Structures are given as C-alpha cells and as structure tokens.
Structure 1
Amino acid sequence: MPRRSLSPEEQALWAALTRSVKPIRAAARMPAPAVVPIKPVEPKRLTPSSARPFVAPPARSPAAILDSGWERRIRGGNLVPDMTIDLHGHTLSSAHVRLGQAIALGLAQGARILLVITGKPPKSAAFDSHSRRGAIRGEIGHWLETGSYADRIASVRAAHPRHGGDGALYVILRRSR
C-alpha cells in the first residue's frame, strides 16, 4: 500500500507534537557507540551435581468421583447450577470460544457448578455408530482436559435428567485459591 504525504495541517500538528515531546533519558539522544567486537564466551560445562532434570509439577485433572455429599447431590438432581451455558447452534470453534469465556466468567464470579448444555444427538443417529454423539458433545471433554482452565476443574459429570440428562454436563470448578 503506497504511503500518502501529510497535508499542511497534518505537518503543522506533527511539528508541534514533536516539539512538545521530551526524551525520558538524555542518553536516548546520543548516537550509538562504535561497534566493539565481542569476544566469544565459552559455554558453561555442567557437572553432574549442577545438572538437574526438569520435573514438571503434577497436573491436576478432573476427578472421576467426588466425595459422597457431591455424589448424592448429583444422583438426586439436587445441584443448583451457578451458571448455565447453552452451546446450541454454535459451530465447533464458536462453542469452544464460548465455553472458555463462560468458564473464565464463572471463575471470576466464584461459581462452583456450571451447567453446559451441548444438546442431544438426533434420534435418527442412534443406529449410526459414527454419529452417536453430537459434534460439540464429542469434543467438549477434550476441550476441558486441554484448555487453559483444566487445572481449575474439579470434575465433569453427566447432568441429571432435570437439567438435560444426556444433552448436558455439570462442570464442577475447584474452590478459589
């Protein structure tokens, strides 16, 4: 794209602006020093005592089973979601973004239980083994395990029929740190 030249008004404004700006350091106006050759630095040799392998901290993954109180509330449908996220009508990419935004908002608001509605697959797909699950439902587990908030998720569970059953999930967040 070719650059355009400044109009006389723009040139006057630019000149006034440059006159009003003061450098942070006087050294910033000094010319760069002459190039001085740098002598090569010999790399440090690691001794067995100084070489320690990197050990990553253990990742916290969602638990398959929570304590008995949580389990009883989940089975009985006695959970009251703090937030509900409906992913109906979203593409995979927009659903993924929406899920991340909702988890971030839930964490910011101190929510513990998110109800994520993915939708049930069509009944005609029940006999087709390749289409048993909807696209969003098929990907959501991966998104939750590998997402930036994976360590903040305590558990992911199928929702009670009162909250959508097979078409929804409870995402139970860990307590704030």
Structure 2
Amino acid sequence: MPSAEQGATIPPAGKAPPVFTRPVKPKPSPVSPPRAAPPPPVAPTGRGLDSHWDRRFGRGAIEPDFTLDLHGHTLEAAHARLDAGLAQARAMDARVVLLIAGKDRGAPAADRGDSRGAIRSKLLDWLAAGPHGSVIAAIRKAHRRHGGEGALYLVLRRPRG
C-alpha cells in the first residue's frame, strides 16, 4: 500500500472514485472528401438564350426562318439531309430552324435500328458530333402548332463578322 508521503490518495472505504466521462467526437479527416467528377458535355439545350426567348418559344410566338423535315427518311438519308439542310440554313443566315424528326419512342438509340423513332433518338448525337454543332446556341421543343413533341427548334448563333 502506498504511503501518504508518496502523494497517493486513498479513497474512503465504501466510495468509488468519481468517474468523469466526456463524449468523444470523431476527429475530422485531414484529407478532404473526393470531389465529384464534372458532368460530361452535352448538346446545347438550355444555355445560350435569355428568358425572353424562352417566353416567346412557350407562347409559340416565334416563326422559324427555315424548316428541315427528316420525317420518313432512312437513318443514312436523314443524317445527310440534316448536314446539308443546316449548311443551307446557315448560308441563308437563318436564326431559328424548325427540325421535324418525329416523336421520341423512349427506347435507347442502340436498340432502335430502323424502327419508329430511330431518327429522333440519334438526332442529338448527330448534332453534337456534326460540323454544325458549334453554331447551335440552343435546342428547344417545338410549340404544338409547329409539331410539338415531333419537332425541335434549333437556334443558330449569329454569324460573326
């Protein structure tokens, strides 16, 4: 038993020494959490136009400068017609192109082949990868009087110079 001279304290008989507990908070990790990868680039659908354009599209107050109808073509013919038609629209300084391509059928493009909705399902890929992708400012769904879900508006950037 330790003596009182050594500085040890002996608790009185029958009483336990007080126990002090404090909740332990986990320490924050010195390494910051990993950042989410940036989203992949997509075809221009919502940016590039101000709200004035959106209101006019919603009311159906915009008349297209050029109409391009791909409905009823084969995939190869529709792709060629799309590129040629956009080149023609740009040569005419068209700002809004009405693109008629039929309704989207909901199945993935790879599963379509030549079935209904194949052109519409591949359309955004063609536009993004094609020679005219950089001149498209926005893509919007067409108003009901211009074809509704079976058509799109392509808003082309103004020519520079």
The bucket for the TM-score relative to the shorter chain is 0.5 to 0.7
Name the structure 2 match of 1:84. 67
Percent sequence identity is 49
Name the structure 2 match of 1:138. 121
Structure 1 residues without counterparts, runs of 5 or longer: 1-58
Whole-Å Cα distance in 2 between the matches of residues 134 and 157 of structure 1? 18
Runs of 4+ in 1 over 6 A off after TM superposition: 128-131
Residues 89-168 of structure 1 aligned to structure 2 (within 5 Å): 89-120=72-103, 134-168=117-151
Q: How many residues align?
A: 115
Whole-Å Cα distance in 2 between the matches of residues 98 and 92 of structure 1? 10
Report the TM-score, using the length of structure 1 for normalisation: 0.59
Task: Indicate if the aligned counterparts of 2:95 and 2:155 stay in contact, CA closer than 8 A.
Answer: yes
Whole-Å Cα distance in 1 between the matches of residues 155 and 126 of structure 2? 15
SS of 1:64's equivalent in the other structure is: coil
- Structure with greater Cα Rg: 2
Deviation at 1:88, TM superposition (A): 1.6
Which of the pair is proportionally richer in helix? 1
The CA deviation string for residues 68-127 of structure 1, in whole angstroms up to 9 with x for no partner, is: 111111111111000111112100111000010111011111000000101236xxx68x
Report the TM-score, using the length of structure 2 for normalisation: 0.64
Residues 58-73 of structure 1 aligned to structure 2 (within 5 Å): 62-65=44-47, 66-73=49-56
Structure 2 residues without counterparts, runs of 5 or longer: 1-40
